[in-house]
């Protein structure tokens, strides 16, 4: 074979080899680039998540105002490999921040055009997680259906129907059940025992087949009422001094009556009241009746006897209809307050908080009297209501036979319930047919909307149902108490 022919073969096969080699190297390079892009794509997601967690840390440490909206990201070895950028949208009411939505965008420096976006919403859990949060012992009647967690810092006799956890923080998981809780004689067949002169019962127990004892839990952690106490002074300052929402000062007479008319509120000044006697009320977890011998719990004594009176409106003066500011649905009354009428229901539009307190006279605490139905104009959490009473949050004598209440009802130092009205004096209003509550009850004292004499209902509502409102858990009206200071993720999605 001639040398020229060999050279030709070498050149041809060399060219083919180089062509194949370059193709192989190009393929390997392409695969390597795609692999690096895939790594950067994953890194961009991790960086976006880091931005999300960084802002939650800022929220939970109270420094969100000083948080960076762009920040470099380092790997475990301390190498800076990328950056995240934050878009922040905070829901505000009365200038106070509520839930927060952020969009976190992350990218790696190797491929800065490859970006991942995560949208996340943060909020705190409100007291609306529970149907009831109580500080005192309680007896839940057999007619009562409760659909939502129920908690008391004291003992619980749960004779009603519970669909969720019932938790008691009674010390050592036991409490002394007295005759006002139906424990005379002591129900020893239901886990209680006699110790000396006391009837000692489990933290939660039942004497009926209505409840689900598998959902009883005790002893549970005590609920810190001091941490969820509403700052009434701040509400007054916002409404009176900073002109946020609406402020109504001392009436100079007996107080105010209001009817919520969607995004407006009708207000009357109560000129005079009649005082109903012969009634019973609850102080802490004790029942105190008009005419009882004077006890330390009695707020007023006369001739050695307790004086328990209930005011009902005799005359009033219409003050006007006031629009509720859409950016601050906060209303403060520095006096006693009646909400609604037996023949005039309240319709709520938007998120509204109503508070009643006397912060001028330190010896006086105000009550809220619920006298009409409270309904929402729309569903899906668009409308909601919180009513805060400095002392008691009570359903009055003249309330609807079929009553519906929506909202969060807070009795800061007193109790939520309905006083005992004897039928010999107050028929037919002494007994009402049905009470439905969609929301949450927060009460320092023992709750009670039904009274028993012997085995008969002597006053209050014959049938009661309570449902939690899930829309209020993370997005309640302003100043609704939160059960945790920590922000949680309530919604998460990756944006394309």
Spatial separation of the C-alpha atoms in residues 74 and 69, rounded to whole Å: 16
**What's the whole-number mean pLDDT along residues 20-46?**
68
The pLDDT of residue 265 is 97
Percent of the chain with pLDDT over 90: 77
Distance CA 258, CA 318 (A): 10
In the prediction, which pLDDT does 259 show? Answer: 97
Q: What pLDDT is recorded for position 465?
A: 97
Q: Mind spelling out the 3-state secondary structure of 454-480?
A: CCEEEEEEEEEEEECCHHHCCCCCCCC
Measure the CA–CA gap between 235 and 246, rounded to whole angstroms. Answer: 10
**pLDDT for residue 19:** 66
Phi, psi dihedral angles at 150 (to 5 degrees): -125, 125
As a whole number, the mean pLDDT across the chain is 91
- Longest CA pairwise span in the chain (Å): 140
* 370-397 per-residue burial string, b: 16 or more CB within 10 A, e: under 16: bbbbbbbeeeebebbbbbbbbbbbbbbb
**What Å distances lie between residue 175 and 286, 442, 452, CA to CA?**
14, 21, 21
How crowded is residue 7: how many other Cβ atoms within 10 Å of its Cβ? 10
Looking at the DSSP assignment, which residues form a beta bridge with residue 144?
A: 464
- Spell out the domain ranges in the chain: 3-126+489-495, 229-480
Summarize pLDDT for 261-270 with one digit per residue, the tens: 999 999 999 9
pLDDT score for 2: 54
376 vs 226, which has greater pLDDT? 376
Residue-wise pLDDT for 59-81, tens only, equals 999 898 888 899 999 988 889 99
For the residues 455-478, what does the mean pLDDT come to? 94
Spatial contact of 442 and 410, defined as CB atoms under 8 Å apart: yes
Higher-confidence position of 227 and 441: 441
Q: Would you place residue 98 in the very low, low, confident or very high pLDDT band (cuts 50, 70, 90)?
A: confident
The reported pTM is: 0.90
- The answer to whether residue 26 scores a pLDDT higher than 60 is no
Tell which wins on pLDDT, 455 or 243. 243
Which residues have CB under 8 Å from 32's CB, separation 6+? none
| CA neighbor of 313 nearest in space, from 362, 271, 367, 283 | 271
pLDDT in the model for residue 269 = 98
């Amino acid at each position: 074979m001639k040398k020229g022919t060999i050279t030709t073969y070498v050149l041809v096969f060399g060219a083919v080899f180089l062509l194949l080699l370059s193709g192989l190297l190009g393929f390997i390079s392409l695969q390597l680039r795609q692999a690096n892009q895939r790594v950067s794509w994953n890194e961009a997601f991790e960086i976006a998540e880091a931005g999300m967690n960084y802002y939650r840390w800022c929220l939970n440490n109270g420094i969100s105002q000083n948080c960076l909206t762009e920040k470099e990201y380092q790997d475990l070895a301390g190498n800076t490999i990328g950056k995240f950028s934050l878009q922040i949208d905070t829901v505000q009411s009365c200038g106070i921040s509520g839930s927060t939505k952020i969009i976190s965008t992350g990218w790696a420096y190797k491929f800065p055009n490859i970006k991942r976006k995560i949208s996340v919403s943060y909020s705190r859990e409100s007291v609306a997680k529970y149907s009831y949060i109580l500080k005192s012992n309680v007896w839940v009647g057999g007619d009562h259906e409760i659909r939502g967690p129920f908690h008391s810092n004291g003992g619980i006799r749960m004779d009603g129907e519970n669909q969720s956890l019932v938790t008691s923080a009674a010390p050592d998981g036991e409490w002394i059940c007295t005759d006002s809780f139906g424990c005379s004689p002591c129900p020893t067949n239901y886990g209680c025992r006699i110790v000396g002169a006391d009837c000692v019962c489990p933290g939660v127990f039942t004497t009926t087949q209505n409840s689900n004892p598998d959902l009883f839990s005790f002893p549970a952690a005590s609920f810190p009422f001091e941490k969820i106490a509403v700052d009434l002074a701040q509400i007054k300052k916002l409404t009176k001094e900073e002109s946020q929402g609406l402020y109504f000062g001392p009436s100079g007479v007996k107080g105010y009556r209001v009817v919520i008319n969607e995004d407006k509120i009708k207000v009357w000044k109560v000129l005079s009241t009649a005082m109903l006697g012969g009634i019973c009320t609850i102080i802490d977890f004790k029942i105190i009746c008009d005419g009882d011998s004077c006890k330390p719990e009695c707020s007023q004594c006369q001739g050695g006897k307790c004086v328990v009176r209930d005011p009902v409106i005799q005359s009033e003066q219409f003050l006007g209809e006031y629009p509720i500011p859409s950016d601050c649905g906060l209303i403060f009354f520095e006096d006693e307050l009646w909400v609604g009428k037996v023949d005039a229901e309240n319709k709520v539009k938007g998120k509204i908080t109503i508070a009643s307190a006397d912060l001028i006279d330190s010896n006086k605490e105000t009550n809220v009297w619920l006298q009409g139905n409270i309904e929402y104009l729309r569903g899906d959490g668009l409308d909601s209501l919180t009513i805060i009473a400095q002392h008691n949050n009570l359903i009055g004598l003249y309330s609807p036979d079929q009553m519906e209440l929506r909202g969060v009802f807070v009795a800061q130092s007193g109790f939520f319930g309905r006083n005992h009205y004897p039928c010999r004096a107050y028929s037919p209003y002494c007994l009402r047919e049905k009470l439905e509550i969609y929301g949450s009850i927060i009460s320092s004292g023992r709750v009670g909307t039904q009274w028993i004499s012997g085995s008969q209902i002597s006053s209050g509502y014959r049938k009661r149902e309570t449902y939690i409102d899930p829309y209020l858990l993370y997005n309640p009206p302003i100043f609704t108490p939160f059960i945790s200071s920590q922000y949680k993720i309530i919604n998460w999605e990756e944006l394309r």
